[in-house]
Every structure is written in C-alpha cells, then in structure tokens.
Amino acid sequence: MRKCIKVMIGLLITLAVAGIPSRFVSASQATSYTYTLDEDGYWTRTQDAYLPDKTITDLGLAAPEDLYIDKDNMLFIADSLNRRIVKYSIDTGE
C-alpha cells in the first residue's frame, strides 16, 4: 500500500511540475494508460498499474526533488527552488 501511495504521489508531483491546472479527479473518472518499454525498445500498452484516488496540485511546488512518507502517513516533499520542505497529511489532505 505504501509503495502504491509513493508511486501515486510521485506521479502527482510530476503532474504539478508540468503545470497541469488545479483540479481533483476521482478514480472512476480517470482514464489511465500504462505503457511499458519492451525488450526491443518499443512502448507497449499494458494493464493499469493503479488508478489515482485524487490529484493534488495546489501545493505551490516549484522544483520538487524528493519525497518521504512517515509511519503517520505524513508526506514530506523537498521543494528545492522554494527552499522548503512541504509537510502534507495524506489522511486529512492538509
């Protein structure tokens, strides 16, 4: 479960950096496509690795470089351009 959360948060951070507009998406509305690089170097569509529960884009991240989730489900994000550590509760969304 934690690995899935880490992968989801990593994807969300990537989307935030890409400048995607702020919005929340439920998993039932999301169209998810997963591609895997095969041994010949071609991208092949595979089964979905996961479906996102929500998208978090309102943290004001400028250059997120690393993340950590502690035992209390607190997410810590190293935002290097803003020179700060963002602390986010996965459970409460604050």
Of the candidates 54, 79, 43, which has an alpha carbon nearest to the alpha carbon of residue 64? 79
Q: What is the pLDDT of residue 84?
A: 93
Tokens encoding 6: 């880490």
Structural contact between residues 77 and 63, judged by C-beta atoms closer than 8 angstroms: no
Q: Write the pLDDT tens digit of every residue in 14-53.
A: 766 665 454 554 445 555 677 888 899 998 888 776 777 7
Intra-chain end-to-end CA distance of the chain, in Å: 20
Identify the residue whose tokens are 């979905």: 48
- Cα 55 to chain centroid distance, Å, stands at 7
Q: What is the pLDDT of residue 70?
A: 92
Q: What is the pLDDT of residue 34?
A: 79
Tokens encoding 10: 């990593």
How far is residue 78's CA from residue 66's CA, in Å, rounded to a whole number? 5
Q: Write the pLDDT tens digit of every residue in 53-77.
A: 777 778 888 888 998 999 998 999 9
Tokens encoding 37: 């690089």
Using pLDDT thresholds of 50, 70 and 90, give the confidence band for residue 78.
Answer: very high
Using pLDDT thresholds of 50, 70 and 90, give the confidence band for residue 9.
Answer: confident
DSSP annotation of 72 reads T
